A = this chain, B = another copy of it.
Amino acid sequence: MFRTSTCGELRLSDVSKSVTLAGWVQGTRDLGGLTFVDLRDRYGITQLAFNMDTNADLCLRARKLGREFVVQAIGTVVERSSKSNKIDTGDIEIVVSEFTILNASEVPPFMIETNTDGNEELRLKYRYLDIRRPVLRDRLLMRAKIASVIREYLSGNDFCEIETPSFIKSTPEGARDFLVPSRLVPGSFYALPQSPQILKQLLMVAGMDRYFQIVKCYRDEDFRGDRQPEFTQVDCEMSFVEQDDVLNMFEGLIKTLFKKTINVDVPAVERITYANAMQKYGSDKPDLRFDCPIVELNAVLPASEFPVFNNAVTSGGLVAGLNAKGSAGYTRKQLDELTEFVKVSHRGLSGLVNIRFNEDGTVKSSVDKFYTEEQLRAIGEAFGAEKGDLLLLAADKTAKVRKSLGDLRLDLAKRNNWIDESKWSILWVVDFPLFEEDEETGNPIFVHHPFCSPNPEDMQYFDSEPLKVRALQYDMVMNGNEICSGSIRIHNPDLQRRVFEKLGLDEEAQQQKFGFLLNSFKYGAPPHGGCAFGLDRMVMLMTGGETIRDTMAFPKTSGGRDLMMDAPTPVDEKQLRELSIKIDVKTEAK
């Protein structure tokens, strides 16, 4: 070993010990007679001290050490005269008797400090330097800790970690597959798994009872938002369970995880239905760190000539709104921004009505023409409006109003700093619909995946009104992010066939795509269900990262590139020939 101690472990109790440290030069301070070098490793920083009076040669050499030089230093632990409480080793320093430069360093392209001057592109290119920064280093350490606690909890509950293959059959299941050309079977391809969904179900058929795997999954999606081509799931499945068993098991996981990693006591995880979530928060992943629910007004609207509201009510739509507490003082510009926000195409409202409960006791509205102050106050009662509140009302088709107000609710929370970052909102959303309508064809398509079990209570609607059928599906939502999704699966081959048929898969397509699963169900499939957590997103939320890139050692850019390695790249003609493929770049494709 090049060291007897790390740079994070020496304390007052070690004073007068002879030690050898090794690490990187964080910085040097030359105070004339004394020179200090901060030596850094993964575990911390220790101050090295050099004295011109006692060892001028050594001190002169130390002054020449550049940032990020790798140094091995031998010396004695002494108590510091001026202690630092910024670092754990701040009570001591090392009086160095000898040191060796193990490797020199050029000046790094950005500051290796918590607050760096490098932009993200530069830092991705030099990721090995970026990881030296404590903030990223600590996230990677926390990620490992999180994975470790998850494994411990699941193993302790009889879950067996089983590796499933990366090379599977391409069975279009929502997103696009990444493909791997097979050299040994020319013209054929493996697919990389989007999730081990079918394989874990087969492990239940195989009697493995409780399975988990922390596993890489792959989806070839366009990189909108915070996506990576490869991501990591905590994939779980259990046999002989009902929905509540799964919810309780993974509620236990989250509680244990939070306690053992970030020392947070998670209270009982609330369960709300999909229908309720949509109605109250306009989202199937509501953030409940703040309240501000959607208030529906159809039943309480005062009589008026206001056509927008009246039309919405009479055409079966929805009039609803939010109470932006304390925002009555918003300027015209701010109110216009909110209106623009709900008008953008993916929300599509035509506008917002506002009612301002001013501090001076007056009530003003953008629809003063249609409502008396009395009537406005009556509407305000539905919101519990008080002086200083701003009501924002919308009317349109129900789904559009809910979604837009749900988004607006989050936007208001950000604008007004309603979110207490020290709080956690963790809940189960249950009773998702089994099918939804394909916007183009009007046919039922699955909401989650085609293996979710319908709720037996709703089987009466299966043929007549399939959109009414709830699935035994559940999501765990953390601070407004879906971090886990799961369901009780179908284990009856006939029911599985009925669902496939409803999705428009005929016998042949079923056999071709899912034949091996259907076949396995003939040989005694147990009732089973499970879920999968998105590890990257969970780590991001638990470590205060802003994107999932912050939780990965070597992420890709939003264009799918690795800037450090420079991948993907063209490959040799010989490699392609061996794989029996040819490049075929269309001009249009460029």
Contacts and interface: CB of A to CB of B under 8 A. Distances in A.
A461 interface: no
A15 B565 CA distance: 64
Contact of A522 (B106, B181, B190, B562): B106
Nearest to A519: B126
Given A69-B524, A180-B179, A565-B169, A580 B571 contact: no
Interface string A143-185: 1100110010001000011111111111000001111111111
Contacts of A210: 42
Interface stretch (A201-209, A378-386, A389-397): A201-209
Given A209-B41, A581-B583, A585-B187, A553 B192 contact: no
Given A2-B240, A151-B148, A523-B129, A570 B207 contact: no
A137 B560 contact: no
Contacts of A207: 24, 40-42, 131-132, 137
Stoichiometry (number of copies): 2
A356 interface: no
Interface stretch (A215-223, A266-274, A359-367, A431-439): A215-223
Interface residues of A, number: 128
Nearest to A212: B144
B581 A584 contact: yes
A161 B184 contact: no
A61 interface: no
A108 interface: yes
A145 to B, nearest CB: 9
A569 interface: yes
A408 interface: no
Contacts of A564: 202, 516
Contacts of A181: 179, 181, 581
Contacts of A583: 186-187, 580-582
Contacts of A590: 186
Interface stretch (A97-105, A256-264, A321-329, A448-456): A97-105
Interface of A: 1-3, 6, 22, 24, 40-43, 68-70, 72, 102-106, 108, 126-132, 137, 140-141, 143-144, 147-148, 151, 155, 160-170, 176-192, 199, 202-203, 205-210, 216, 218, 220, 222-223, 229-230, 232, 240-242, 245, 491-492, 515-516, 520-527, 552-556, 559-562, 564-571, 575-586, 589-590
Given A102-B526, A184-B559, A186-B589, 10 more contacts: A1-B245, A68-B523, A166-B166, A167-B230, A168-B567, A170-B567, A183-B220, A206-B553, A581-B583, A582-B582
23 contacts: A69-B524, A103-B521, A103-B524, A105-B524, A127-B202, A131-B203, A132-B207, A137-B206, A137-B207, A140-B208, A143-B163, A163-B216, A166-B216, A167-B230, A170-B567, A176-B575, A176-B578, A179-B571, A185-B560, A185-B561, A187-B585, A202-B564, A580-B585
